[in-house]
Structure 1
Amino acid sequence: MSLTLVEQLKLWTDTSNSMVFFGGAGVSTESGIPDFRSVDGLYHQKYEFPPETILSRTFFKKNTAYFYRFYREKMIYLNAQPNITHTKLAELEQKGTLSCIITQNIDGLHQKAGSNKVLELHGSVHRNYCVNCFKEYGIDKILNTEGIPRCECYGVIKPDVVLYEESLQENIINKAIDAIKQADLLIIGGTSLSVYPAAGFIRYYQGNRLVLINRSETPYDSQANLAIKADLGQVFAALS
């Protein structure tokens, strides 16, 4: 990691009035939550079905009990704590520098760190609802039951997370696009930028301070004004 690059990033964060942070799974890996595509990620672990199949709308409907066995074991990390990236972003929000966090994560760690302006593109494990009557439930309903959790109306309870074959919520998409359009600094971190439509949001940025921070290269590195190949925690610790 080049100190010069981080110094440039610190200058930009110090002088920003409407910074937006767009984060992927790499934001939470340092909190002990595995990502999907790295060597140790969920896609490289062995299950009876591929994780992307288990986490699909079709599988949820046809194999709900198996879905929940996987979901409870591999998608919920209530003991995870915010790391330096989460806490630094919360500080930047409190200073009035950060206008919005757009996250692909469902773990709620940004809110746990104190951030309030969070757009969750893929939902949250902390919210759940009955597919019949739409009554809302917290995470305890999932953790304190076995097999398929059911509503008092006996409808199946579904996590409020976006599964494969499902669309992102239109109102969340619109808010994310508006925030990116108005940003004077856009930092994208911890994501390979390979999942659409979220990866396509980058094209709505109209400024000249586009920063990409990721351990590996992304398809958009050449478009960035600043590309830092490093762990997010290492970069955000240097901003403190």
Structure 2
Amino acid sequence: MDELIKLIKNTKNVIVFTGAGISKDSGIQTFRDTDGLWKDFDPNVYATYEGFMNNPEKVWRWYLYRYEKIKSANPNEGHYFVAKVEKYSQNFALITQNIDGLHTKAGSKNVIELHGNIHRVKCCACRNKFNTEDVNFSILPPLCECGGLLRPDVVWFGEALPYKELQLAFSYAGTAQLAIVIGTSCLVYPAAEVPFIVKRNGGAIIEINPEKTPLTDYADLHISKVDGNFYKEINNKLDL
């Protein structure tokens, strides 16, 4: 932990790269853990454009269930840790694969969302975007003013990541001296390429994850004993 704190306080260019694991202590299920969402729900049905078009009402009911859970969730110590790291860095970016918006809720400012945000919807026809809370869900699936189907503004399997956000993430990774990687399996590309860009350019990688991942062997430090107490302790030390 002391090595991590020293790096945070003495490194100018830092990125943090997060996945579903960081939100687990906020009561939000991960996807690939033994108790993850994909254990009980087929991603081909609930997380592809084809699955949505085949049964948009079914997919929307699932997303609204998740949306209500996420809307009532609060950031945990891990989210607040990331927000503290940003305050120490001169050139910082938080690159997240999460769609829950909890990093922003915790106070993070420069947030790059690679997989979208469940708090937004977009039209399949005109591509206009709206806040989820402003949409009338009394009839499913909801429709846009143009008559097109509204869908969650998230990236599904088989879809391209938003170009602007991806290029921005790669740009920050290319100049980062340190990448702190938290709660991601590093299996979903092209997002998983982010920490490897840092490594190829001579930066250090700290992986915070109870499980080993394809990134672990490349990490300069792997922290596996991770829980709320770990983040609480490190947050207290960063406040000193």
TM-score, normalising length: structure 2 = 0.90
Q: Percent identity?
A: 34
Q: Which residue, 213, 224, 230 being the options, matches 2:219?
A: 224
The alpha-carbon deviation at position 236 of structure 1 amounts to 2.6
2:120 partner letter: R
**1:15 equivalent in structure 2:** 10
Q: Which residue, 63, 66, 71 being the options, matches 2:63?
A: 71
The alpha-carbon deviation at position 98 of structure 1 amounts to 6.3
**1:214 equivalent in structure 2:** 209
Q: Which 10-residue stretch deviates more, 144-153 or 23-32?
A: 144-153
The alpha-carbon deviation at position 235 of structure 1 amounts to 3.5
Distance 2:82 2:48 in 1: 31
**1:38 equivalent in structure 2:** 33
**2:192 equivalent in structure 1:** 199
**2:238 equivalent in structure 1:** none
The alpha-carbon deviation at position 208 of structure 1 amounts to 4.0
Q: How many residues align?
A: 232
SS of structure 2 residue aligned to 1:115: coil
**2:99 equivalent in structure 1:** 106
2:165 partner letter: I
CA contact (8 A) 2:14 2:89 kept: no
Q: Which residue, 136, 159, 167 being the options, matches 2:160?
A: 167
SS of structure 2 residue aligned to 1:218: coil
Q: Which runs of 4+ in 1 moved over 6 A?
A: none
Distance 2:88 2:107 in 1: 12
SS of structure 2 residue aligned to 1:198: coil
1:138 paired with 2:160, answer no
TM-score, normalising length: structure 1 = 0.90
Q: Which residue, 53, 56, 75 being the options, matches 2:48?
A: 56
CA contact (8 A) 1:89 1:98 kept: no
Distance 2:65 2:43 in 1: 12
The alpha-carbon deviation at position 119 of structure 1 amounts to 0.5
**Structure 1 gap segments, 5+ residues each:** 1-5
SS of structure 1 residue aligned to 2:112: strand
SS of structure 2 residue aligned to 1:137: strand
Q: Which 10-residue stretch deviates more, 147-156 or 228-237?
A: 228-237
1:106 partner letter: I
Instruction: Output one character per residue of 1:125-150: Cα deviation in whole Å (capped at 9) or x when no partner.
Output: 11212222333211114574341011
**1:25 equivalent in structure 2:** 20
**Structure 2 gap segments, 5+ residues each:** 236-240
Distance 1:21 1:233 in 2: 18
The alpha-carbon deviation at position 232 of structure 1 amounts to 5.5
Over aligned residues, Cα RMSD in angstroms? Answer: 1.8
Distance 2:192 2:128 in 1: 32
Distance 1:128 1:101 in 2: 22
The alpha-carbon deviation at position 90 of structure 1 amounts to 1.5
Q: Which residue, 131, 148, 151 being the options, matches 1:158?
A: 151
